[in-house]
Amino acid sequence: MPPRNITGFSEFLLLGFSEEPELQPLIFGLFFSMYLITVFGNLLIILATISDPHLHTPMYFFLSNLSFVDICFTSTTIPKMLQNNHTKSEVITYEGCIIQMYFFILFAALDDFLLTAMAYDRFVAICHPLHYTIIINPQLCGILVLASWVISVLHSLLQTLMVLRLSFCREVEIPHYFCEFNQMVQLACSDNFLTDMVMHIAAGLLGGGPLAGILYSYSKIVSSICGISSAHAKYKAFSTCASHLSVVSLFYCTSLGVYFSSAATHSSHPGEIASVMYTVVTPMLNPFIYSLRNKDIKRALKGFFGMAAINRPRVFG
């Protein structure tokens, strides 16, 4: 007898990292701390770029958008995981799982496109510095961000519709801490050949395309830097893109690790750890990577907190 589509009244179980009760408080505290650091750190980047007129440039425009997306990206998974951990429940409704998966794919794709736009910005700044203000103008920046949103929304909608056509059995156990797309496709009771094909084509186009653009941009950047005679000028040129290159490496290495590990094996543990790296650790580290070696961000934050201290109401006895 073929499996019936009973997703209308089914519940999914998010198994998380460990079912041992003594580890639950540790997991809750760790992820709650990382989530707070991620939100406040990226909020500081956004406030710094908004408050300081010197940061109203294309590079910091893309950075503030990336910080906003990172907050949303982390917020799609961690709050539900923390709630389940606190209530000792593993349940997520079918509708909640679909919504979580939709926004997860949306913000993951946005991260990908924004990192590509930032790589293009650094490419023009280093390889074509005299034409930078003409090429990277406010109109182009707005178009790149808008196009990233439109493509990401359509891509996420397509992937979600492919999952909606699948049938799931009752009490589906997802060996993950969120409704991960690959895991849901593997756990479907119905034939998932078409969904698998669409998933791999989309991953090749929307994952490989931006990655190829980033690699091309940095190949040209490295070639231009090697042609500079002054060692100081080389260091200055490289330092302008070192932070972005670190974030790109961390994001792509972990996300590609998740993709290939899920394709090669049905074991979820390595993929789950790699998922934590690019869904939690990378958004958390982004503010530190972009601010620790960035004098403009440090100056803007000092100015922001200085103004906040000056404007704070005082009570005189």
Residue-wise pLDDT tens digits, 69-95: 999 999 999 999 999 888 888 888 889
CB 225 within 8 A of CB 237: yes
CB 94 within 8 A of CB 8: yes
pTM for the full predicted model: 0.86
CB 263 within 8 A of CB 138: no
Q: Can you list the residues of the chain whose pLDDT is less than 70?
A: 1-10, 18-19, 170-171, 259-271, 292-293, 304, 306-317
Q: How far is CA 225 from CA 115, 211, 219, 294, in A?
A: 21, 21, 10, 20
Domain spanning 7-292: CATH 1.10.8.80: no
CB 254 within 8 A of CB 108: no
H or E segment and range at residue 172: strand 172-174
For the chain, give every domain's residue range: 7-292
> Token pair of 297, please?
């961000």
Share of the chain above pLDDT 70, in %: 86
Residue-wise pLDDT tens digits, 259-297: 666 655 555 566 677 778 878 888 998 888 887 667 777
Sheet holding 11-14, edge to edge: 91-93, 11-14, 172-174
How would DSSP label each residue in 40-78? Answer: HHHHHHHHHHHH-GGG-SHHHHHHHHHHHHHHHHHHTTH
Q: SS3 for 19?
A: coil
Query: pLDDT at position 295, please?
Result: 74
